[in-house]
Amino acid sequence: MARRILLALLCALVCAAWLPELLRGSQRSTATPIVIPFAVDGVRVLTSVDTALFVCHPSSDDAPLHLEGITVSSGSGANAAVLYRDELAHELASDPLFVALNAEIERLPEELTHREGRRYFAYPDEAPYSMSDAIDRWRALDAPLAAVRARYAAGAPRPFTELHFDLDLRRVFDELDAPGTERALTIEVRYRAAGGVSRSVALEHKIRRLAPFPGAPATLVGAQIHSGDLHVHSCHGEAVNACAPSADCPAETFQTSGSFTYAQLKPQFQALGLDWITATDHSYCINDDAEYQTIVDETAALTDGSFLAIPDIELSSEEEGAQSGGDTSNLLCLFGVQQNHMGAHGISARKPGGSDAVIGFCNGVLGFSANIAAIRGEDGYPIVHHPSADAFGWNSISALTGQETNGMHGVEIWNGSVVSGQGGDVGAWVDWLLAGRILYAYSGSDTHDAAFDFGANHVLFNGEPFNIENLESAVKAGRLFISNGPSLILEVTLEGATLGMGTKQALSPTQSAAPLQIDTHYDFGAGSGIISVFRGYSGDPIETLLCQSGTLSGSGVFSCADTLNPTRQGWYRSYTEDAAAQVIAYTNPVFFVPVPEAWSAYGQGLGGANIATLSCDSAPYIGGTQRFEVSGFAPTTPSVSFLVERTQIPGGFPVFGGFLLVAPPLIASGVVPASGGAATLSAQIPPSPGLIGLNAFVQALAFSPNPFGNIGFSNGLAGTVAGF
């Protein structure tokens, strides 16, 4: 509480000094409205999409601005076509402080605001702030933003409005238009200023036709791909003008306009060729369970057989342990509070973190370990967001653990529109792998307004129904690649077994070096690219470029070979880029993880009815398939029973002429047919972290005639379940 009071006092003092300067900077004599379009700029599927125009009265004069109409058209001259027209009777009040706040935001460094492109509120000749000045300026926005919100909450007229309309993309493009075709929309707003003279302002917005996603490569028969976004924000987190029932969220200082509801976002993502999203508004904006339930209800209403919307959250946490570097969010929060963001996925309840006040993300947050535990407690999976970002990145490099300890699940290696190469967030992920972490790769657009093209998560299905349960299962299993174009799917073959993306293959101490085949299935559609296959080992300083193709096109398989190192934790992954390094794809890895020990035999040489030999060449680990083989029963034995128990009987309990070597409580059992006195049972250990460390004991028995009776026994096997 003391921290919050002191912070408020500091902000108020700084603001008191700068408020006159803010208002002086906003003195504008022009009455030409500021018009900002929030619209898709790329499409794959021609449909109708919600489009918004933010219109603001910029003048410091007291006279209101009257909006009279809006016209949206494409083409020019004889080819011009009106796509939308509406007559308006809307009055905008003058509010110099609101204009000044937005001008101030536009002068902050883009590393903070993530606003790119032209200025709308700040004059072009106003110098941008340095990073050192920007921190104090950001803090100083607290009081004026609070004043603006208070005025609007009390019913004061606003200087802005958002005009929404449906844009029918089928009237913008022809179905035969080739990828790369660009169309320009002309948006004209008619208005009347003081004096009663009607005028208009026009702007241009361009939309590009994108190449369709090629789908599953023909070499993977029966596979389907479902593409989506794991990092999406909505108007529930807007600083001013948040959508009901959410209150405004001043902590999102830079998000003063342009956000959409999830219902409005759905067709925008469908136009990009995506069929699922996760809703990840900030934890410091979603401040109570009722507000989160609203998002749960909204996403449920959008989910149908062709599109899935899942309610999750972007969770603010405090850094822990030794810090590697720092970022601007650490400078904003006083008293050493250091922040990062993670995606909380697969959750069943809201995860709190921060408040909606300006810089409220500094207050009331838990350490990231506690947040990871809360997510894992609901069988969810946490994902590091933008690890190398200039604000809210991850500096707790050494303290972060991965799936090997049921910690962090993955890393967002693609955040925003364009990513390429092996640096940035990709490099942060690889560095964690080299440090021994097991982490999957994911992506998110992180849009706070309209949907845009980026490297989506392309999830591999194999005939399962497309529903939330199966999608969550596949995403959690790492069965996806990340791409803004081509399909790229990795498979590694070891001793006849094909291991897909996301596989964590446990290696028992008895595993020997063996040949590996690394296959990268690809489909470049109408494009082309070069495929690179990387191999990494924990403890090495860098990955190795194992092999690289020439320029490939169409669909096929790029293969290369290697030899398994059974004693080192390692992985293989593939990457592709086109000649311009603009069309990119990353696969998830296939991991190889040595485990400390395999099943060990006991109770051998007891004689009597213990006539069979039981073995297992797999190591016991969560999610792993165990192959138990038994032989030596009478050739006429019809079936064999396998018992998996919690208790070992070291010397055996004599019964039916033999020795029982296991005792309750029972963990599992199974009966399989026998042939020639032999049988095999394949069973998967559930992928539950709660099983790690469990001691298990296995024995086989059968109705098998022998000199000591009609029941035969095997030796026992003992094992301890490992993380992998």
Q: Which residue has the higher pLDDT, 516 or 143?
A: 516
Question: Which has more confidence, 276 or 358?
Answer: 276
For the cut 60, the answer to whether the pLDDT of residue 46 exceeds it is: yes
Phi (first) and psi of residue 354, to 5 degrees: 90, 180
Average model confidence (pLDDT) for the chain? 90
pLDDT of residue 642: 98
Distance CA 521, CA 500 (A): 11
Position with higher pLDDT, 581 vs 624 = 581
Give the range with max mean pLDDT: 24-38, 352-366, 373-387, 678-692.
373-387
With tokens 């033999």, the residue in question is 658
Segment among 72-86, 253-267, 518-532, 700-714 with least mean pLDDT: 253-267
Average pLDDT over every residue of 459-466: 97
pLDDT reported for residue 493: 97
**What band does 15 get if pLDDT is binned at 50, 70 and 90?**
very low
Q: How many CB atoms lie within 10 A of CB 568?
A: 15
Which pLDDT score, from 0 to 100, does residue 18 have?
44
pLDDT higher than 50, residue 17: no
What's the pLDDT score for residue 498?
94
Give, to the nearest 10 degrees, the angle between helix 131-140 and helix 2-25. 100
pLDDT digits (tens, 9 = 90+) for 548-557: 999 999 999 9
Name residue 694's beta-bridge partners.
Answer: none
Task: Report the percent of the chain where pLDDT is more than 70.
Answer: 93
| pLDDT, tens only, 428-439 | 999 999 999 999
Name the band, by pLDDT with cuts 50, 70 and 90, for residue 116: low
CATH 2.60.40.10 positions along the chain are 486-594
Q: What is the pLDDT of residues 674-718, one digit of tens each?
A: 999 999 999 989 877 778 778 999 999 999 888 888 899 999 999
Question: Higher-confidence residue: 147 or 49?
Answer: 49
Of 627 and 116, the one with more pLDDT: 627
Residue 363 pLDDT exceeds 90: no
pTM, 2 dp:
0.85
Fold exhibited by the domain 486-594: Immunoglobulin-like (2.60.40)
pLDDT of 4 reads 31
User: Residue 406 to residues 428, 439, 548: CA-CA distances in angstroms?
Assistant: 20, 10, 34
CB burial readout 56-95, b (16+ within 10 A) else e: bbbbbbeebbbbebbbbbbeeeeeeeebbeeebeeebebb
pLDDT score at 443: 99
Q: Are 63 and 96 in contact (CB under 8 A)?
A: no
Q: What are 15's two structure tokens? A: 């603001």
Beta-carbon contacts of residue 209 (< 8 Å; ≥ 6 apart): 42, 43, 44, 173, 177, 178, 179, 180, 181, 182, 183
Q: What is the mean pLDDT of residues 23-48?
A: 81
Distance between CA atoms of residues 260 and 243, nearest Å = 8
pLDDT value at position 6? 28
More confident call, 44 vs 28: 44
Residue 364 predicted with pLDDT over 90: no
In this prediction, residue 10 has a pLDDT band, given cuts at 50, 70 and 90, of very low
pLDDT of residue 147: 84
pLDDT tens column, 135-176:
788 778 778 878 888 888 899 999 999 999 999 999 999 999
Lowest mean pLDDT among 203-212, 355-364, 469-478: 355-364
> How confident is the model at residue 9, as a pLDDT?
29
Tens of pLDDT, residue by residue over 235-270, are 998 877 788 888 888 778 666 666 899 999 999 999
- Residues 104-124 have a mean pLDDT of 79
Question: Average pLDDT of 80-104?
Answer: 92
User: Confidence class of residue 618 from pLDDT cuts 50, 70 and 90?
Assistant: confident
Question: 600-720 has which fold?
Answer: Immunoglobulin-like (2.60.40)
197-201, 211-215, 525-529: least confident range: 197-201
- Which residue type does 51 have? T
Length of the chain: 724
| pLDDT tens digits, 627-647 | 999 999 999 999 999 999 999
- Report the range of poorest mean pLDDT among 41-45, 216-220, 327-331, 533-537: 327-331
Question: How large a percentage of the chain has pLDDT more than 90?
Answer: 69
Give the position of tokens 């005792």: 663
The dihedral over CA atoms of 147, 152, 154, 156, expressed in degrees to the nearest 10, equals 110
pLDDT for residue 346: 98
pLDDT at 653 over 90: yes
Report the range out of 75-79, 121-125, 326-330, 665-669 with the highest average pLDDT. 665-669
Q: What is the largest CA-CA distance in the chain?
A: 114
Structure token pair of residue 210 = 């994108």
pLDDT of residue 168: 97
Round to whole Å and give the CA distance between 339 and 359.
Answer: 11
Lowest mean pLDDT among 21-25, 451-455, 521-525: 21-25
Strand ranges, E, within 210-327:
224-232, 276-279, 308-311, 313-318
More confidently predicted of 560 and 21: 560
Q: What is the pLDDT of residue 13?
A: 32
Residue 391 or 274, more confident: 274
In the predicted structure, residue 669 carries a pLDDT above the cut 90: yes
How much is the CA Rg of the chain, to the nearest whole Å? 31
Distances (CA, A) of 724 to 244, 625, 694, 696: 46, 11, 13, 15
